[in-house]
Amino acid sequence: MSELNITQIKEQLHNVGDYLRFATSQFNQHELYFGHGTDNAWDEAVALVMFALNLPTELTDTVLACRLLDDEKETVLEFIQRRVKEGIPAAYITHQAFFAGMPFYVDDRVLVPRSPIAELIENRFSPMISEQNPPKRILDLCTGSGCIAIACAHYFPEAEVDALDLSVDALNVAQINIENHGLEEQVIPIQSDVFTGIAYLKYDLIVTNPPYVDQEDVDALPNEFLHEPQMGLGCGDDGLDIVRKILAQSAEHLNDNGILICEVGNSQIHVESVYPEVPFTWLTFERGGHGVFMLTKAQLEQYSAIFNEQVI
């Protein structure tokens, strides 16, 4: 869309419904990839257009019929143009993403939150964790935007939560979100290369969504993913370089009866191939998602020799 086209479009499109339809058509025409909070062109258009207009995403006939001012049209079209021409995920344009029903600030220093772990947090990790014995200390390893740590703090308000990441840039974004949610006393960001920054600390629950994309998938990533920090995606030929360390070292950072929840996505096939003897519990999700396993501290200790043999 050139400047001339934008002028013409402004003359032909008038209300919210017009711009939602136009955005959807543009997204489909340019065959954009959706996977950073939405999975289709219409929902992406709703997220982008309604944010630009400072309107809720619940659509009614009245809202769809609302006419736009010229400056509102220009803002909406600028957002649409960036999404189409640059392939930027909508969340990086709006600087907002939702996780476990909560809003988070995001920019290109962190991945856009999209983990199915959100569903586990909303369900308070039931039945893996008893309502009568909620975790008192939680670790979010490879925290990125801080979304898992903050959501855990929200759903377990009595718990202390540490949010670890190697990237200082990511921790700066996490700090923004911690402050936005008023959790400075409950969620503590810590720079750490896996567990190196927490020495002898132990937790009742370790939750981690580490880099896990294998090289084959990295090479085939759609353009949208190239705007995300690559250190948060790829992790060796089979995607398991960091996962190997997590499996080998988690037991010493878990209290008795503690559990590890780890997402590996499509690299589930590599986990099962590398550790055929280990009885991973692969979790299921009502809202979709896969490649998330659970292991208890007892299991991590039982298979510690296998895990340590695999550390690169």
- The secondary structure of 102-125 as a DSSP string is EEE---TTSPPP--THHHHHHTTT
Q: Are 170 and 143 in contact (CB under 8 A)?
A: yes
Burial profile 89-119: b = 16 or more Cβ within 10 angstroms, e = fewer: bbbbbbeebebbebebbbeebbbbbbbbbbb
pLDDT at 224: 85
The domain 111-309 having CATH identifier 3.40.190.10: the answer here is no
d(CA 308, CA 306): 6
Peptide bond into 113 cis (omega under 30): no
pLDDT at 234: 77
The parts of the chain modelled with pLDDT lower than 50 are 3-4
Nearest in space to 138 (alpha carbons), one of 38, 51, 205: 205
From-to residues of CATH 3.40.50.150 in the chain? 111-309
d(CA 12, CA 26): 15
Query: How far does Cα 132 stand from its chain's mean position?
Result: 29
d(CA 116, CA 193): 24
pTM of the complete model: 0.92
Nearest in space to 85 (alpha carbons), one of 8, 32, 41: 32
Q: Are 140 and 162 in contact (CB under 8 A)?
A: yes
pLDDT at 221: 83
DSSP classification of residue 204: E
pLDDT at 36: 87
pLDDT at 106: 97
pLDDT at 1: 55
pLDDT at 175: 98
Q: What is the pLDDT of residues 103-146, one digit of tens each?
A: 999 999 999 999 999 999 999 999 999 999 999 999 999 999 99
